[in-house]
Amino acid sequence: MRGQTVLSLVTLSQIKIHQPFGGVVPEIASRSHLEWMNTVLFQALADAHVEPQNLDGIAVTCGPGLVGALLVGVSAAKALAYAYKKPVIPVHHLEGHAVSPVLDTTTPSPELPQCLAIVSGGHTQLLIDRTGPAQWAPDFLWANTVARSRDDAAGEAFDKSAKLLGFPYPGGAWIDRKAREGNPRAFSLPRPLPEKSIPDFSFSGLKTAISLEVQKLQEARALNPAVAADLAASVQEAIVDMLMRKIRLAVANHECRSLALVGGVAANSRLRSELQTLGIPVSLPLPEYCTDNAAMIALAGRYRFEQGRFLKFPEFVSLNAVAYPKGPL
Ligand code: KG4
Ligand code: ZN
């Protein structure tokens, strides 16, 4: 990354190796990280035509996530930084998602305050950004969260429902596609926490509801592709409805003048079209920056670097991966 420009982006997806298990297997994930880390790292440098000695710093995700996989990244970053005497910039995974719309250089500067909706496989969280990322304080993610899921994340709800419908992992994109052939009102599914006094989300009831519907349909031998499409459309409608309801509430309560939707679920076509009804400008990352990628971590790292929030050589040697960071990294 130079300024805001992505010089290269190499993404190695592990989806295929986890697919037979219906979800991520942590040990396989870390082993695969270890196997591919150097290849991906040096490919990214080669594609950018940048020598390691010319880097200003090395940004790395320290958490949250699977600790084994995180450790591989943190160790690689430390090794490279040690060899070339470069600073290391620890980055929180969600901070990467949060800055991802900025990677689209055609996105205008947002009107503040902006409601930032992080909807991924592991997180569903609404934040209010009053400053823009260049001025974010170290505790930005903690101090500005106004809503979160009390149980499953929205992406997890998509994935678990998809699994029950027999779609491969990760199911979000499958549901998105199948839903186009189905009727979103075919099944009546729960929408918990409807109260306006509650800013939070809850998605875990959905998998129980889908599981019961699937069981009933299987017993009646009625689970055919058309019915599966109706269920996919209905579950997507329920998730989008719940997301939109709490997003509207946060926008109204905090007088937001714009919205950014980030994370894997930001790729969902139904959610994207519903956002247009909000009546405020909406920023969305380009599709390649919705799901996990290194460009968003590099940009979050650049903001931190400019604020002087990095670890100099050799003080980064004690840097560690954190599965569930409870405070600033
Ligand atoms: O942000 P991400 O790549 O990884 C995490 O940090 O969790 O998000 C992955 C999640 C998965 O749950 C996946 O099913 C979901 O994003 N996802 C989608 C779509 N594309 C990916 N969910 C709904 N519709 C999509 N089109
Ligand atoms: Zn993510």
Q: State how far the Cα of 123 lies from the Cα of 115, in Å rounded to an integer.
A: 16
**Tokens, residue 289:** 């920056």
Measured CA to CA, the distance from residue 271 to residue 259 in angstroms comes to 13
What pLDDT shows up at residue 304? 98
pLDDT tier for residue 4 given thresholds of 50, 70 and 90: confident
Prediction pTM value: 0.95
The arithmetic mean of pLDDT across residues 89-110, rounded, is 94
Locate 107 and state its tokens. 């996105």
Instruction: Give the closest residue (by CA) to ligand 1 atom 14.
Output: 172
* Ligand 1 mutation target, pool 123, 291, 296, 297, most atoms within 8 A of CB: 291
Residue identified by tokens 């009390």 is 150
Distance in Å, CA 176 to ligand 2 centroid: 18
120 lines ligand 1 (CB under 6 A): yes
For ligand 2, the distance from its centroid to the CA atom of residue 262, given in whole angstroms, is: 9
CA 244 to chain centre: 17
223: left (phi over 0), alpha (psi -120 to 50) or beta: beta
Contact partners, residue 16, CB within 8 Å, separation at least 6: none
pLDDT at 160 over 90: yes
Query: Average pLDDT of 229-255?
Result: 98
Q: How far is the CA of 141 from the centre of ligand 2 (A)?
A: 15
Closest CA to ligand 1's atom 24:
268
Fill in the amino acid letter for 164: L
Lowest mean pLDDT among 40-54, 104-118, 144-158: 104-118
Which atom of ligand 1 is closest in space to residue 159's alpha carbon? 14
- Give residue-wise pLDDT tens across range 166-217: 999 999 999 999 999 999 999 999 999 999 999 999 999 999 999 999 999 9
Q: Is 203 in the pocket of ligand 1 (CB under 6 A)?
A: no
Ligand 1 pocket residue status of 96, Cβ below 6 Å: no
Query: What average pLDDT does the structure give for the chain?
Result: 96
Determine the distance separating the centroid of ligand 1 and the alpha carbon of 125, expressed in angstroms: 14
Q: Which of 91, 118, 265 to mutate to test the pocket of ligand 1 (most atoms within 8 A of CB)?
A: 265
Give the span between the Cα atoms of 147 and 127, in whole angstroms.
7
117 Cα–ligand 2 center, Å: 13
* Predicted confidence (pLDDT) per residue in 5-28, tens digit: 999 999 999 999 999 999 999 999
- Position 3 scores a pLDDT of 82
User: pLDDT per residue over 35-88, tens digit each?
Assistant: 999 999 999 999 999 999 999 999 999 999 999 999 999 999 999 999 999 999
Average pLDDT over residues 140-153: 98
Give the Å distances, CA to CA, from 162 to 118, 235, 294, 308: 21, 9, 27, 44
The Å distance, Cα 181 to ligand 1 centre, comes to 20
The three-class DSSP label of residue 255 is coil
Q: What is the pLDDT of residue 168?
A: 92
User: What does the pLDDT average to over 252-266?
Assistant: 97
Ligand 1 atom at shortest distance from the alpha carbon of 122: 7
Name the residue at shortest CA distance from atom 7 of ligand 1. 121
Given this model, what pLDDT does residue 105 score? 85
Distance 116 CA to ligand 1 centre (A): 17
